[in-house]
Structure 1
Amino acid sequence: MKLKRSIGWFGIMCASLGGIVGSGWLFGSLFAAQMAGPGAIIAWLIGGFGIMFLALTFAELSAMFPISGGVAAFPIFTHGKLVGFILTWLTWITYVVSISQEVQSTVLYMGNRFPSLVQKVDGVTVFTSFGFAICFGTMLILILLNSFGAKFLANANSIISVWKLIVPFAVVIMFLITSHNSENMGLSATSTQEFAPYGVTGILSAVALAGVVYSYCGFQHAALLAGESKKPQRDIPLALVGSILICMVLYCGLQYSFITALPESAIANGWNNLSFVGDAGPLAGLAATLGIYWLVSVLYVDAIISPLGTGVLYVASSARIVQTMSQSGNSPKFFGKIARSGIPMRAIFLNLVVSMLAFLPFSGWKSIVSFLSSALVFSFAVGPICLVALRKQQPERFRPFKLPYYQFMSFLAFYVCNLMIYWSGWNVVWKLAVTVTAGLAVFVVTNFLNRNRLDVEHIATKLDYKCSLWLFPYMGIFCILSYYGSFIGGTQDIPLGIDFILVGIFSLIIFYLSQKMCLPKAESDKNTASLLEKKKSA
């Protein structure tokens, strides 16, 4: 079946805007300011332009293969089963952890109204035992909504998207009107503040750790509509670049209005100790401090609608990933069973357990988003690699949108991805390495247990391990650079500036190896045809 090309650039741009403006904007301004001071505005610009390069590579891939789960499918087309599984595993983990993150966003904001939900531990807002119980109950509600309310949520999506754009712009305007102290920016000779109190390292760390990258990652929703665009060669880059630029203006405006609205008492002890009454829900807390009580009510409503609306989607998507892994022999058959309601409830309950466990290694919203940002970027980094590989493997395939200067643009996107992961620091990178290693262990065990079973793409014993050999030095060398790097958790033996060069050389080597180790054309064609047929019949 051929998709109808019925969506114009405006429709695609709205999809991208709705995906980008999620729950991250509710907390990003506070945490970015704590890490970079007023220089956090630069962090939002860097994150936006970096994601823009990456989005354009996915525009070509998604236009060629307008299928759900493309992030996990593309590496199967180019590098086979093992690489495909690792990326699918990582995507599943990010989706499941995202359920925890979205629930956190809502319950943390409610902590302003109900103090029994949260407490401060070493300056970090965390949940009380009662708060954890509410999180668990909220996740059960997400399951209920996913089972019975999906159609309603789909119909309400357009209204929710408009709401998600109006509210943050209203916050910017009201903060600027009510309180605008430009001295907080540290740009004048009379200001007592510094624009970048923690230097370049603070700004770059904020890109990776404060929710900046996470806030931009919703571009993928627009990329998935590329196959239904009326004029993809024009509309895709216009919509992606346009939506990201609009969000850059929004986020920079939000950051500026937040900083200039802060009372002097909030930053009296330095930006890293920035705090004020109600900062568990920072925008609502600041609005209350400024006396804008109607906006406080609006923000509390948004703190329920935006995160939980996204959480329902993550519950559904993560369950389908488990179901697909079960069907291909990479997870137990038990989780692939469909209930009478047509919902893979066993997979959903598995994700419920894992998402609750995700609270254990992460202390607070920023910690969980720091991991999510790096994991998402790591899974997205395969996009530029797959684009170049497919130009070689399947040059005859029709590309509704072709990225100009594709080799240079793809490498640049890959390099930017690696920088953003590196900026997250050793404290995050080692968790990412453990996650990838755990995925490898699951792959080896499940394929050993199913070694005599056929799956759609391959005989299960054919693992395409030779095509995955570049992936292991990629993760291993990343750990070494991060451990000795200048960012949080590193030993700081590699000076700032030199590390940019080292990450560039490292990126070039891995990029080259990934192209040398891709599948032969015949295997690539076979995988593509098999998986597309499976998606078509699903």
Structure 2
Amino acid sequence: MKLKRSIGLFGIICASLGGMVGSGWLFGSLYAAQMAGPASMISWLIGGVSIMFLALTFAELSAMFPISGGVAAFPIFTHGKLVGFILTWITWITYVVSISQEVQSTILYMGNKFPSLIQKVDGVNVFTTYGYLICFVTMLILILLNSFGAKFLANANNFISMWKLLVPFAVVFLFLITRHNFGNMGLTTDSAHEFAPYGVNGIFSAVALAGVVYSFCGFQHAALLAGESKRPQRDIPLALILSILICIALYCGLQYAFITALPETALANGYHNLSFAGDAGPLAGLAATLGIVWLVTVLYVDAIISPLGTGVLYVASSARIVQTMSQSGNSPKFFAKIAKSGIPMRAIFLNLAVSMLAFLPFSGWKAIVSFLSSALVFSFAVGPICLIALRKQQPERKRPFSLPFYKVVSFIAFFVCNLMIYWSGWDVVWKLGVTVITGFVVFVISNYLSRNTIDPEHVATKLDYKCSIWLLPYMAIFCILSYYSSFTGGQKVIPIGWDFLIIALFSLFIFYLALKMCLPKEESDKNTASLLAKKGTN
């Protein structure tokens, strides 16, 4: 059964906005301010503009191949089965863990009102048995919402997205008119604080670790739902660009309003030790401090709607990734089946099980977001590579949206992806390396076990090891650079400033290597035709 094309431009924009306005807006302002001070405004601008370059490459790819779960298909088209599996493996893990992350955000926020949901263990808020039960029930609700079909989901998300935008913009307005202390920005001669108290290191670290990148990564929901868009060639590029611009304005405005509304007592020990009553739910706590009692209630309601609205989208998008993996031979055929509602329900239930397991190893919003940000950006970094590879492999294919100066824009997108991963520091990058290695092991084992039962209808039945060799120096050199970096966990050997040049040269080398090792045109055409046929697209 084919996926139903029932979502218009407004629905696609709302899907992208819904993915970007989740738990990030509830927590990001606090953590970004702690890491970069008032200069966190720059962090949000850097994050938004960087993601814009990345989104432009996906705009061409998604319009050219308007299929659901496209992010899982593009590397198969260009580099074959192994590269496709590794990058899709990382994408799938991050999307599934993101479901847990959004549910976790809601329940932790609600723990301030309902103490039976959480308990402190070694100073960290963790769930009680009752809290885990509520998480599981919440997961089931997200699945139920997805079971009604894409059109219902899009229509419901339209209303949710409007709420999710209205409340943050209302918070910006109310904070500004209630308390606006420009001195907190550190830009006047009588300011008690500096604008950038932790220098450029703090600014860049906040991009990667404070939820900035994570907040913008939801743009991909527009591309992942391309197979259900009525006019994907026009709507996908437009939705990506507009939604990111809206979110840049929202997050910068929210950060400014948050900083200028802070009472002096909250900054008594500097931005790094920023704290105030109720800061476990930072915006609600600040609203209470300002005496806007009714807004506190609204924010607690939004703490349910915003993260769970984003969680619904992650359930939908991650299921489509599993479906694409199944159709390409990288996961069992069982998960490729589409229910009568037009939804891959088997894949959704698989993700439910994995999402519940993902609650166990993570104990804090910031810790899990730091890993998710880098993993998502790593999986997205293949987009610019795929765009140029497909220009070479399939020049005759119609491109409804053709990216101007595609080589320059694609390299910039790849470069900024590597920068954002580098800024996350060694403490995150080594975990990303372990994730890549685990994916490779899973791939080898699964292909060894199924060596005599490979479905001849599956695309990319060749393993294409030669086309994946570039991943080894990519991950290995990245780990070395990160280990000697001046960011979190690094040995502080590579000075800030010189690292831009080093990462640029490193990016150029990997970019060249990846493009040299892409599939021949015949193999690319074969993989593309086979998977598009399975997707019901010509």
For residue 281 of structure 1, report the CA deviation from its aligned partner.
1.3
Match of 1:385 in 2: 385
Match of 2:161 in 1: 161
CA distance in 2, matches of 1:409, 1:151: 34
Match of 1:358 in 2: 358
Match of 1:284 in 2: 284
CA distance in 2, matches of 1:215, 1:36: 17
CA distance in 2, matches of 1:273, 1:262: 13
Identical-residue share of aligned pairs (%): 78
The answer to whether the Cα contact below 8 Å between 1:176 and 1:261 also exists between their aligned partners in 2 is: yes
The answer to whether the Cα contact below 8 Å between 2:22 and 2:102 also exists between their aligned partners in 1 is: no
CA distance in 1, matches of 2:345, 2:11: 33
CA distance in 2, matches of 1:286, 1:368: 24
CA distance in 2, matches of 1:277, 1:5: 46
Structure 2: runs of 5 or more not aligned: none
**1:535–1:239 Cα change, 3 Å:** closer
- 1:480 paired with 2:480, answer yes
CA distance in 2, matches of 1:318, 1:239: 20
Match of 1:263 in 2: 263
**1:270–1:120 Cα change, 3 Å:** farther
CA distance in 2, matches of 1:238, 1:355: 32
CA distance in 2, matches of 1:16, 1:38: 27
The alignment of Structure 1 onto Structure 2 pairs a total of residues equal to: 535
The answer to whether the Cα contact below 8 Å between 2:66 and 2:232 also exists between their aligned partners in 1 is: no
Match of 2:273 in 1: 273
Match of 1:306 in 2: 306
TM-score (norm 2): 0.91
Aligned residue type for 1:247: C
Match of 1:413 in 2: 413
Give 3-state SS (helix, strand or coil) of 2:536's partner.
helix
- 1:88 paired with 2:88, answer yes
Aligned residue type for 1:519: L
Give 3-state SS (helix, strand or coil) of 1:27's partner.
helix
CA distance in 2, matches of 1:459, 1:221: 25
Match of 1:131 in 2: 131
Aligned residue type for 1:113: K
CA distance in 1, matches of 2:334, 2:527: 26
Correspondences of 1:200-215 after superposition (within 5 Å): 200-215=200-215
CA distance in 2, matches of 1:511, 1:415: 9
- 1:52 paired with 2:49, answer no
Match of 1:454 in 2: 455
Give 3-state SS (helix, strand or coil) of 1:488's partner.
coil
**1:122–1:491 Cα change, 3 Å:** farther
Aligned residue type for 1:418: N
Match of 1:492 in 2: 492
Aligned residue type for 1:174: L
Structure 1: runs of 5 or more not aligned: none
- 1:536 paired with 2:536, answer yes
For residue 41 of structure 1, report the CA deviation from its aligned partner.
0.5
Give 3-state SS (helix, strand or coil) of 2:400's partner.
coil
**1:319–1:156 Cα change, 3 Å:** closer
Match of 2:20 in 1: 20
Give 3-state SS (helix, strand or coil) of 1:506's partner.
helix
For residue 119 of structure 1, report the CA deviation from its aligned partner.
4.6
**1:251–1:133 Cα change, 3 Å:** same
Task: Show CA shifts across 1:46-77 (max 9, x none).
Answer: 00110111111111111111111111111111
The answer to whether the Cα contact below 8 Å between 2:80 and 2:460 also exists between their aligned partners in 1 is: no
Task: Show CA shifts across 1:228-260 (max 9, x none).
Answer: 687968x76665444322221211110011111
For residue 116 of structure 1, report the CA deviation from its aligned partner.
3.5
Deviates more, 1:288-297 or 1:167-176: 288-297
CA distance in 2, matches of 1:432, 1:6: 35
Match of 2:30 in 1: 30
For residue 151 of structure 1, report the CA deviation from its aligned partner.
6.3
Task: Show CA shifts across 1:79-127 (max 9, x none).
Answer: 1111111122111101110111110111121022123433556665444
CA distance in 2, matches of 1:204, 1:231: 35
CA distance in 2, matches of 1:515, 1:41: 36
The answer to whether the Cα contact below 8 Å between 1:319 and 1:347 also exists between their aligned partners in 2 is: yes
Give 3-state SS (helix, strand or coil) of 1:156's partner.
helix
The answer to whether the Cα contact below 8 Å between 1:5 and 1:230 also exists between their aligned partners in 2 is: no
Task: Show CA shifts across 1:424-467 (max 9, x none).
Answer: 1111111111111111111111111111223434474x201111
Match of 2:249 in 1: 249
Match of 1:514 in 2: 514
Deviates more, 1:355-364 or 1:408-417: 355-364
The answer to whether the Cα contact below 8 Å between 1:106 and 1:307 also exists between their aligned partners in 2 is: yes
